[in-house]
């Protein structure tokens, strides 16, 4: 049965609502994504929504990051326990998926793609300039990222240690 939200007298103060804002200029990039040290995968990621203190804003059942990278740079093929949604904010992005990442589609600004749980996925800036992408992972705990053998080999060749599965 579908529920309807009740109309209430809730009226948070400006200060209470300001505490629920993540100002971009105040965000601190995360160093959690060690795969960003693999040549060709250099990118900056900011956690925005999720579990504090890693993310400045608490959210239940979803996590949101912003990613910025130069043309040609990518997040390598990886997997999560949950669905992941990508939203192109600027530029042009390629989202690739599958065991070898052989299938791909392109996203222009404001295009959205939803990748189901269990499907390996990655993304690449295919535009001519630096671009921003939003990533949203569903679920209370998206789990640790895992990478296929090809990405683990590229990391090892670059002397980057990825966490064990």
SS3 1: coil
Domains identified in the chain, total number: 1
Residue 162 placed within a domain: no
Chain CA centroid to CA 51, Å:
14
pLDDT at 138 over 80: yes
124 assigned to some structural domain: yes
Q: Tell me the pLDDT band of 1, cut-offs 50, 70 and 90.
A: confident
CA distance 37 to 159: 9
DSSP structure string for 47-82: EEEESTTTSSEE-SSEEEEEEEE-TT-EEEEEB-SS
Residue-level pLDDT at 61: 87
Which pTM was predicted?
A: 0.92
pLDDT, tens digit, 9 for 90 and up, residues 67-123:
999 999 999 999 988 999 999 999 999 999 999 999 999 999 999 999 999 899 999
Average pLDDT, the chain: 95
What pLDDT is attached to residue 106?
Answer: 98
pLDDT of residue 69: 97
**Residue 164 is assigned to a structural domain of this protein:** no
Res 5 pLDDT > 80: yes
Residues 6+ apart with CB under 8 A from 62: 49, 50, 136, 137, 138, 139
Tell whether the model's pLDDT for residue 124 goes beyond 80.
Answer: yes
At 157, the pLDDT band (50, 70, 90 cuts) reads very high
Range of the domain at 89: 32-157
Q: Which of 150, 87, 141, 88 is nearest to 117 (CA)?
A: 141
pLDDT greater than 80 at residue 57: yes
Tens digits of per-residue pLDDT, 9-28? 999 999 999 999 999 999 99
In a domain, residue 41? The reply is yes
Flag whether 22 is in a domain.
no
Distance of CA 142 to the CA centre of its chain: 11
- Residue 40 resides in a domain: yes
Q: What is the pLDDT of residue 76?
A: 98
- What CATH number is associated with residue 86? 2.60.120.10
């Amino acid at each position: 049965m579908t529920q309807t939200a009740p109309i209430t007298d809730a009226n948070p103060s400006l200060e209470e609502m300001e505490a629920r804002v993540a100002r971009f200029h105040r965000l601190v990039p995360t160093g959690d994504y060690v795969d960003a040290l693999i040549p060709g995968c250099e990118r900056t990621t900011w956690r925005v929504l999720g579990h504090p203190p890693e993310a400045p804003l608490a959210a239940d059942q979803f996590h949101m990051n912003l990613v910025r990278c130069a043309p040609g740079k990518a997040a390598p093929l990886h997997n999560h326990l949950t669905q992941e949604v990508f939203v192109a904010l600027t530029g042009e992005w390629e989202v690739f998926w599958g065991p070898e990442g052989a299938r791909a589609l392109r996203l222009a600004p404001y295009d959205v793609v939803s990748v189901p749980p269990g499907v390996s996925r990655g993304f690449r800036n295919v535009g001519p300039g630096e671009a921003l992408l939003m990533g949203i992972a569903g679920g209370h705990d998206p789990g640790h990222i895992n990478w296929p053998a090809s990405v683990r080999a590229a990391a090892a060749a670059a002397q980057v240690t990825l966490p064990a599965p």
